[in-house]
Structures are given as C-alpha cells and as structure tokens.
C-alpha cells in the first residue's frame, strides 16, 4: 500500500487525472479498473475518479510497490544554458529578463534550449524542482514574448502561483509596459484601438471593423524625441500577437528594426550603424496589483528589466538627457 498526501501543487484536479500523471506509464484502463475494484481510496473512502482533490487529501493505493513503481516514469531534465537574467525571485515566482532570439516555448524551428527549458534546468540545479518528487506539477511560464522581443517573462514555481499569475494577466492585475523607438516625431501621448486579426502567413492586421477580429487597445507616451525618432513607453491593455508593432505602423510610426512591419530604409540605417537586425521592442516594466490571493504581498510592487547593451547604446546615441527609466 502507498499513501499520497495532496499538496497545493496537486489540488484542484480530478482524482483520475492526477493518477494518470502519477502513474504516467499505466494504461488508462488499468487506472479505471483499480478504481472499480476499490483498490484506490480517497480519504479512506472508495474513490470514483471524478472527485476534485483538495489540499491535505490522502489517496491510498492498495497495490504492490513493484506495480506502482513499474508505472511511475523516471523523469530527467534536459541540460540547458542560461541566457536570461533574474529580475526578481522568491519562493513563488521568477521574473526573468529574456534576451532577443530566445524563444519562450519550443516550435518547429526551435525545439531545445528554450527559455522554459532554461528556467526548469535553473530551478532543478538550485534544488527547487525535482520532477520525480513533484507528482505531475511542472513550473510554468505565464506570459510570452515574441522570439525577437526582449524583456520580462513570468514563471510560477508552484501551482497556486501559476494560477494567480494567470489570473493576474487575464483580469489585468498585472500592468505591462514596453519601450520602443519609432520612426518620426511623437510629441503627445495617445491611444490606438482597433480589431486584430492574423493571416495564415503570420501577418497581423489592424482594422476598424469589429467583424474582422478581436478588440485591442495600446497606450503610448513619448519619453524622448528628436526630429526623426521617438523613444516611447507603451502600455498594453490587451495582448495579441504583434499588437504593438501593427499599432505603431497604423499611425505612421513603425518600430525601428522591424523587418515585417517597419520602414526598409530606416531598418537599413540601423543595421548598418548599430547592427540592429530586429525590432527595437523591450518589455521593461511590470506593476502588480494583487489585492488578494497568494501573491497579495506583491501588490503595488514595480519590477523593471534593463534592455540589452545594444539597445542602451542606440538610446543614448539618438537622444540627449534621457530620463532614468530603468
């Protein structure tokens, strides 16, 4: 017989789903057979499989240890480099400063050494995460940035923190701010609104027609400007793919270095001068507004991530007397 104590990382899921994670190599038919035969109990009562687990629940498996161990997957963590910087870390969350060209999750072209891989490996080396002791839970990234956008990415180190970060982004309890440099002279703050859609070839579009996509809203404020370029602070009130890039293009101020939505001649100048070969876009600030939940202690906290050396060089080259924003 084996006894399993449910913690915060396992609560909130069905008994059968938990067992399929715990004994990942067992056929589903075996799990349901053991439930029917009353070989699995929840809090000393027959488990049906559809119960929702709570903290401190106890599951008892009336099976031989050899049988249980045969169905438990021995998990290993892929070795990964460390290309990110830590902005903030505590027992619940990590805020990482992601560089350009580091993808958050794997895709067809980038299958290994993702930011997610790097963070998981980092936690395992610290001793904060062991996949063989976690009973199915994996620390999770809760927001994403495009491959060529740098800045703050959040990860929950336990299930309550993951759920709370996800709630924070969904309910707009986390304010997201970016810096960018755009073509042209922008002297006043403004708002760009419209409806976002995306084509099959990964090109985003902004429309005034509500039938053509999801509503988006982007706020911008100049931090410094000259006759040719403007350093902007951007606040996202919605979060869609390429949102900032298409919003800036729509008002005639494309982001420098943006090969998909930008100005070709401007991009050439910045590549020739600074070797900038992608959009100048950096998620530099998060403001937490949690008034309840396990992350309430972060309420009103402001977190900032410095841009790359290249970005910093471009800012200082283009603008004089830039206010200290990092």
Query: Per-residue pLDDT tens for 135-157?
Result: 878 999 999 999 999 999 999 99
Its CATH architecture, for the domain 174-289+306-318, is 2-Layer Sandwich (3.30)
Its CATH architecture, for the domain 2-71, is Roll (3.10)
pLDDT per residue as tens digits for the range 110-123:
888 999 999 999 99
The distance of Cα 32 from the centroid of its chain, to the nearest Å, equals 35
Q: What is the pTM of this model?
A: 0.88
Neighbour count for residue 144 (Cβ, 10 Å): 17
DSSP notation for 99-156: PTT--SS--SS--SS-HHHHHHHHHHHHTS--TTTSTT---EE-----TT-EEEEEEE
Which residue spans of the chain are classified as CATH 3.10.290.10? Answer: 2-71
pLDDT per residue as tens digits for the range 158-184:
999 999 999 999 999 999 999 999 999
Is residue 232 classed as helix, strand or coil in its secondary structure?
strand
Is residue 312 classed as helix, strand or coil in its secondary structure?
helix
Question: Exposure of 107 by Cβ count < 10 A (0-12 exposed, 13-18 middle, 19+ buried)?
Answer: exposed
> Which residues lie below 8 Å from residue 11, measured CB to CB, with a gap of 6+?
53, 54, 55, 57, 159
Per-residue model confidence (pLDDT) at position 110: 83
Q: What CA–CA distances, in Å, run from 19 to 9, 31, 63, 196, 302?
A: 14, 7, 13, 41, 40
Per-residue model confidence (pLDDT) at position 175: 97
Q: What CA–CA distances, in Å, run from 113 to 84, 93, 100, 116, 198?
A: 11, 21, 14, 8, 28
Furthest-apart CA atoms within the chain: distance in Å: 78
What are the residue ranges in the chain where pLDDT is below 50? none
Q: Distance (Å, rounded) from C-alpha 16 to C-alpha 104? A: 30
Per-residue model confidence (pLDDT) at position 75: 87
Per-residue model confidence (pLDDT) at position 214: 92
Q: Distance (Å, rounded) from C-alpha 85 to C-alpha 26? A: 39
Q: Domain 85-170, what fold?
A: Pseudouridine synthase (3.30.2350)
Which residue spans of the chain are classified as CATH 3.30.2350.10? Answer: 85-170, 174-289+306-318
> Which residues lie below 8 Å from residue 309, measured CB to CB, with a gap of 6+?
none
């Amino acid at each position: 017989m084996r006894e399993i104590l449910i913690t915060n990382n396992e609560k909130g899921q069905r008994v059968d789903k938990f067992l399929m994670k715990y004994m990942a190599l067992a056929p589903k038919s075996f799990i349901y057979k053991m439930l029917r035969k009353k070989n699995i109990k929840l809090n000393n009562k027959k488990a049906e499989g559809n119960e929702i687990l709570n903290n401190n629940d106890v599951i008892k498996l009336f099976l031989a240890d050899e049988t249980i161990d045969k169905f438990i997957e021995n998990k290993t963590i892929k070795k990964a480099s460390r290309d990110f910087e830590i902005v903030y870390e505590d027992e619940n969350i990590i805020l990482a400063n992601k560089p350009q060209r580091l993808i958050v999750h794997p895709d067809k072209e980038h299958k290994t050494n993702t930011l997610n891989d790097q963070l998981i490996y980092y936690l395992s080396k610290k001793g904060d995460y062991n996949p063989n002791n976690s009973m199915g839970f994996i620390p999770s990234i809760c927001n994403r940035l495009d491959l060529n956008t740098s800045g703050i990415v959040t990860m929950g180190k336990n299930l309550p923190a993951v759920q709370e970060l996800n709630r924070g982004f969904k309910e707009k309890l986390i304010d997201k701010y970016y810096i960018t440099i755009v073509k042209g002279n922008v002297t006043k703050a403004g708002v760009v609104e419209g409806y976002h859609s995306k084509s099959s070839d990964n090109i985003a579009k902004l429309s005034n027609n509500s039938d053509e996509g999801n509503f988006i809203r982007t706020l911008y404020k100049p931090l410094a400007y000259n006759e040719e370029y403007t350093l902007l602070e951007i606040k996202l009130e919605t979060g869609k793919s390429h949102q900032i890039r298409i919003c800036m293009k729509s008002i005639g101020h494309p982001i420098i270095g943006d090969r998909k939505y930008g100005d070709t001649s401007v991009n050439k100048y910045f590549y020739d001068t600074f070797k900038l070969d992608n959009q100048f876009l950096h998620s530099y600030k998060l403001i937490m507004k949690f008034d309840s939940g396990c992350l309430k202690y972060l309420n009103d906290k402001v977190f900032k991530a410095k841009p790359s050396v290249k970005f910093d060089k471009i800012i200082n080259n283009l603008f004089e007397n830039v206010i200290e924003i990092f």
